[in-house]
Structures are given as C-alpha cells and as structure tokens.
Amino acid sequence: MSAARAGRPSLVVTRRLPAAVEQQLTREFDARLNPDDRALSAAELQAALTSADALLPTVTDRLTAQVLQVEPLRTKILANFGVGFNHIDVAAAKARGLVVTNTPDVLTDDTADDAVMLMLMVARRAGEGERHVRAGAWTGWRPTHLLGTKVTGKTLGLIGIGRIGRAVARRAHHGFGMHVIFHDPHPPSPEVVAELGAEAKRTVEEVLREADFVSLHSPATPETHHLIDASRLALMKPSAFLINTARGDIVDEAALVAALKAGRIAGAALDVFEREPQVSPELLTLENVVLLPHLGSATQETRVAMGLRALENLKAFFSGAPPRDRVV
Ligand code: 8YV
C-alpha cells in the first residue's frame, strides 16, 4: 500500500497546483498529482475516471459525453478548479450520477481586475507602448505620440452582471466614474443595481449600441455561444472596444477579426479565445488588440484559494455533506 492511509478516497489532480494546495490534497486524499503538468489526453482522463474516486479537473480537461461514457466508472465527483465549467458536459455527468462542483467567489475580484486592466490597456494603447519601448523605437516624448482613448466618465456596457460583472461595475462606477449599463436575462434586485450605479437595458443590442466599452461576463452555454457575432459587432460604435474575460466561444472570433480589420470597432482586449490555446493568427498582427493567456484568476492568492475551495467541496462530498458549490 502507498503512503495513503487505508480508506482515504483516491483523487486524480489533472494539473500542477500551488504547492500549498497539493500538500493539503495529499494530506486529505490518496492523491495522484501531475508534477510534469502535462494536460491529460481523453484516454488518460478515462483512465482516471475508472481508477479514482474523485477528479479535480481544470479548463484544459475536455470531459465530453464520450469521455464520461467510460466503463466501469469509479469516479463519483468532478471537483472543478475554476468557476466556469463549460469543458464538462454536465448533462452527461448528471446522467452518470456524477456530482460536479466549481469554485465561485474566490476569483471574482481578480477576474474583475483583469477586465479593468484589459479595458485600460486597450484604451491607453499599453501593449503598443510596451512593444515600442522594448523595440528600442522610442525617440522621446511628443504631444501627439500614441494617443489613446479616455476611460473616465465613459459608458461601460456589461453583458451579464453576475458576481464578476458586478465587481467590474463597482470598479468602473466608483473608480472611474463610468456610466454602467448592462443586460442580463436574470438581473439582480433594483437595490443591488442602484448600489452599483448601473442601468439595466432590455436587450443585448441596446447595450452594444450605447457602450464605449463592452465587457462580457456571461457563462458559456449553448445560449451564449457566438452571442457576439458579426451582426451584433456591427451594432457597436466604431469608437468602441470589446473586452472578453469570460469564455472565448461567446464571441465569433472570425467575425471579430473581420470587424477589427474593417475598422468597424476600435479595438479588442481578450483574455480568452475560441480555440485555446490557439489564437486566430490575424489577431497577432493587429496593434489595436490586447491578448492575454487566460490570466483572469492568475494570482498566487487566488489560485491557492481556488484549490482550497475545490478541496472543501471534496471533503464535504466524502463526509456525506452537500458540497457548497454543487452545480450538478
Ligand atoms: C481558471 C477560469 O483559471 O474559473 C474560471 O472559469 O476561467 C479561470 O479562472 C480556469 O478555469 C481553471 O480551470
């Protein structure tokens, strides 16, 4: 027998996690870690599902209906590391009797910070400026050099105003004096909307028409797939910017490229992509686009908090209590 104490549930952790989290997971579970941090193949995910009581996956693990069909299924819970779980076919998981949990709350502030950072970067041409200095091309200050777009006082349009959307609204309204408008099929109470200084719009289209900056904060679902397509991009002001820290497939990336190339919008700032880690090659050539490698929750503090939240869900499940963040 391994160092594992008898009776401890077995757990496959699909990617490397912060050391503090791995230590705790190893204390509580018969944990199989991934020190090489190589993403698991479908066959390796299936091997995990047939050999471990629990799985702790991330966004890089495509737990499709086909993968989840594996026999004999030993795993009872998918304790996802992350709030978004569109890489898991939840209907298939449910059909197989699997419990699925996520890690909300703990990454709200960091992801909101990421959206605000992207808004500022694209408006103030920060990426361009950085590239300019690093290339040794800077010849000195001049009044007309790299002029960007003012953010303070502008209109921010949020598509989705859940936890992260609200945190962005708070920063934008109280920090930058922005007028915040939003559309959400499930809007918060009028008191919450008032506290955010936000204004509800009846449709996505109204938000797109009026906003100077559009920031996406919807979950990736069949309903939000390509929500921002060519026709919706055409509604945006030519001076407006699109920011995406949610999920890549909410935007039709090819349509976004076409809109940017035609100058139909002023720019885009993207933390997520339709086919990660692939990025549409044209985006790499456009100066008015900011590109980050899915960094929304990427701080030491938050990645530890996410791991501990997944651990909390696992412990609850195996002690027979309802996990706090059950989504299925
Ligand atoms: C994670 C995220 O880094 O939580 C999410 O939904 O997109 C990111 O914070 C990623 O999903 C980890 O699995």
For residue 30, give the 3-state DSSP assignment.
Answer: strand
Average pLDDT, the chain: 97
How much distance in Å is there from the Cα of 59 to the middle of ligand 1? 6
The answer to whether 55 and 11 are in contact (CB under 8 A) is yes
Is residue 304 within a helix (H) or strand (E), and if so which, with residue range?
Answer: helix 300-319
191 labelled catalytic: no
Mean local confidence (pLDDT), 108-123: 99
User: In the prediction, which pLDDT does 6 show?
Assistant: 63
Domains of the chain from N-terminus onward = 10-106+300-318 (3.40.50.720), 108-291 (3.40.50.720)
Residue nearest to atom 9 of ligand 1 (CA): 297
List CB contacts of 277: < 8 A, sequence separation 6 or more.
293
Per 3-state DSSP, the chain is made up of helix, strand and coil in percentages (nearest 5) of 40, 15, 45
How much distance in Å is there from the Cα of 1 to the middle of ligand 1? 34
Q: Assess whether the C-beta atom of 86 lies below 6 angstroms from ligand 1.
A: no
Mean local confidence (pLDDT), 69-95: 98
Rounded Cα distance between 182 and 188, Å, is 11
User: pLDDT tens digit string along 238-280?
Assistant: 999 999 999 999 999 999 999 999 999 999 999 999 999 999 9
User: pLDDT tens digit string along 1-17?
Assistant: 444 456 899 999 999 99
**Which tokens sit at 77?**
């819970």
Q: Assess whether the C-beta atom of 81 lies below 6 angstroms from ligand 1.
A: yes
User: In the prediction, which pLDDT does 3 show?
Assistant: 46
Mean local confidence (pLDDT), 151-179: 98
Mean local confidence (pLDDT), 294-303: 98
Residue of 3 and 157 predicted with greater confidence? 157
247 labelled catalytic: yes
44-81 core/surface letters (b: 16 or more CB in 10 A; e: else): ebbebbeebbbbbbbbebbbeeebbebeeeebbbbbbb
Residue 197 backbone zone (phi > 0: left; psi -120 to 50: alpha; other: beta): left
173 labelled catalytic: no
Measured CA to CA in angstroms, residue 199 lies from 62, 124, 211, 235 at distances of 37, 26, 12, 19
State the residue for tokens 């559009």: 214
Rounded Cα distance between 165 and 132, Å, is 32
Please report how the helices 300-319 and 19-28 are oriented relative to each other, as an axis angle in degrees rounded to 10: 10
Rounded Cα distance between 233 and 255, Å, is 8
User: In the prediction, which pLDDT does 134 show?
Assistant: 98
How much distance in Å is there from the Cα of 325 to the middle of ligand 1? 15
How many residues make up the chain in this entry?
328
Query: At residue 131, what is the residue type?
Result: R
CB atoms within 10 A of CB 28: 15
Share of the chain above pLDDT 90, in %: 97
**Residue among 32, 247, 264, 309 flagged as catalytic:** 247
173: closest CA among 186, 155, 187, 190? Answer: 155
How much distance in Å is there from the Cα of 83 to the middle of ligand 1? 6
How much distance in Å is there from the Cα of 316 to the middle of ligand 1? 22
**Dihedral (C-alpha) 3, 103, 36, 74: value to the nearest 10 degrees?**
60
Residue nearest to atom 5 of ligand 1 (CA): 82
User: In the prediction, which pLDDT does 45 show?
Assistant: 98
Q: Assess whether the C-beta atom of 310 lies below 6 angstroms from ligand 1.
A: no
User: In the prediction, which pLDDT does 1 show?
Assistant: 44
The answer to whether 245 and 117 are in contact (CB under 8 A) is no
DSSP H helical segments within 135-203, as ranges?
A: 163-170, 176, 190-195
User: pLDDT tens digit string along 35-64?
Assistant: 999 999 999 999 999 999 999 999 999 999
Rounded Cα distance between 85 and 78, Å, is 10
Is residue 198 within a helix (H) or strand (E), and if so which, with residue range?
Answer: strand 198-200
DSSP 227-289: -B-HHHHTTS-TT-EEEE-S-GGGB-HHHHHHHHHTTSSSEEEES--TBTTB--HHHHH-TTE
Residue 149 pLDDT > 50, yes or no? yes
Residue 84 pLDDT > 50, yes or no? yes
143: DSSP letter: T
Query: At residue 129, what is the residue type?
Result: G
Rounded Cα distance between 300 and 129, Å, is 27
Q: Assess whether the C-beta atom of 83 lies below 6 angstroms from ligand 1.
A: yes
Residue 95 pLDDT > 80, yes or no? yes
User: In the prediction, which pLDDT does 7 show?
Assistant: 86
